[in-house]
Amino acid sequence: KIIHDRFKTRMEKVTALNANSIQIEGVHKVTYDDQTYLIGAESDDVSFSNSKEELIHKIVTMTAIGLHVDNDDTVNVAIGCPISEYRNDEKRKSYLDYILPSGGNRVEIFIDGKKKFFNIGRRAVFVECAGALYMYPDKYREGLTGIIDIGGLNVNGAFFTHGHLDGER
């Protein structure tokens, strides 16, 4: 089952001054690891780093999963990382281990006052721009495919030959 959803990758800790912001559409109040954050449109903090190995990305990822699973579900998750990190085995593993707990680990998170818990089953990391290959495999399985992913802070481009990352270009 594939679910498309989006909310802004913004986060800030909940304080007495911003606690009422959860009334705004597109903002979620999230508690994870005993810290409470506002996630979404009206939050102040945004990352301008090229690395995705940051708390903001971890919390937003757990929130996105938690919004769409039932308690005690096991979820297989694929996440994307910049091609510069993907090509480095150590960075790729470090990123994966930081963002997603290893297989079978239970995640507990409170989203908008509701306790959610789920398990991470299989997990994988791909080049950020590879999503089109997996969403439309019949279109990109044969031959050479070039994909350009224009993000908010970076641009990734990669070539795939028969659906596999082409390291020669």
User: Residue 92: its pLDDT value, please?
Assistant: 87
pLDDT tens digits for range 53-83 = 788 888 988 998 999 899 999 988 888 887 7
- The secondary structure element, H or E, covering residue 150 is strand 144-150
Q: Which of 95, 110, 96, 87 is nearest to 34 (CA)?
A: 110
Q: Which of 147, 156, 9 is nearest to 85 (CA)?
A: 156
CA distance 63 to 30: 7
Helix (H, G, I), strand (E, B), or coil: what is residue 104? coil
pTM: 0.75
CA distance 85 to 93: 9
pLDDT: which is higher, 8 or 44: 8
CA distance 59 to 140: 32
- Residue 98 has phi, psi (to 5 degrees) of -75, -50
